Amino acid sequence: MDAQRYFSRLSKYHGALKGLRRQKPPVFLYMPVPLIIAIDGPAASGKSTLGFRLAETLGYLYFDTGLMYRAITWLVLKRGMDVKNEAVVTQLAQEVPIEVSPPSLEDGRTCDVVVDGLDITWEIGKPEIDSNVSTVAAYPGVRTALSIQQRRIGKRGRVVMVGRDIGTIVLPEADLKIYLDASPEQRARRRYDEILSRGGKASYEEILAKVIQRDRIDSTRIVAPLKAAKDAIILDSDKLSADQVFEKAYDLCIN
């Protein structure tokens, strides 16, 4: 790379570099950091844990696109509509604005999700949403409506965007694409432990069945099916702790 291009690239990434933690060795300050980071993968593979931590470390916006599909699903159920009625669900996704913003409370949330003036951040993680969200997310009109909003935010850069189709459809130009995978059993085990640690009750078998069902719907739908982008780096988290996954992903950002 010639010097002029090098310095123009360096200044482009200047803002991004500000977010790097102080304790990291200064040599990183001369490395270009990816401005748009896409993390895709199946249900409960640890995308939000990784994405949130990566965004926090880099000083980037964290954007979990699954929350938008969950918010639409919540609205459909709250209004007593039929999840199977594609036309009605699509119209709702086109008309109702969903606000996803950085967390305003320190109660374990990674984002605030507001619809119709209501904070529904915790509501959308409930089992009835888990059971219906993949049906809603398979409707092409719903995907178009939400992807437009996601792309608009992602294109601004300094963002870690998490979902199923970020590296393939929403932001194919992402500078770094990670596909985070794990076996259904391991993912179900993590989700089960998470519910128990919050004082809830759950059945491992039921969670596993739901994870497998969502994987099937997400990867066989016609529009934007779940799959790794050709240029994605695949991380298999079956034998890695959350810390090890983070270290590997962070290395990819700075090397």
Residue pair 235/245 in contact (Cβ under 8 Å)? The answer is yes
Our CB check for ligand CDP shows the closer of 33 and 75 to be: 75
Q: Shortest gap between Cβ of 239 and ligand CDP (angstroms)?
A: 20
Closer Cβ to ligand CDP, 58 or 166, answer by number: 166
Q: Counting every residue, how long is the chain?
A: 255
Q: Which residues bind ligand CDP (CB under 6 A)?
A: 43-44, 48, 65-66, 69-70, 133-134, 137, 163-166, 214, 218
Q: How far apart are CA 77 and CA 220, in angstroms?
A: 24
Measured torsion, CA atoms of residues 88, 89, 90, 94, in degrees rounded to the nearest 10? 100
Q: Least CB distance from residue 73 to ligand CDP, whole Å?
A: 8
Distance, CA of 255 to CA of 240 (rounded, Å): 20
Nearer to ligand CDP, 158 or 214 (CB): 214
Closest contact distance (angstroms) between CB of 125 and ligand CDP is: 8
The residue among 90 and 134 lying less far from ligand CDP, judged by its C-beta, is 134
| Phi then psi dihedrals of residue 31, to 5 deg | -100, 135
- Are 112 and 99 a contacting pair, CB within 8 Å? yes
* CB 183 to ligand CDP: min, Å: 14
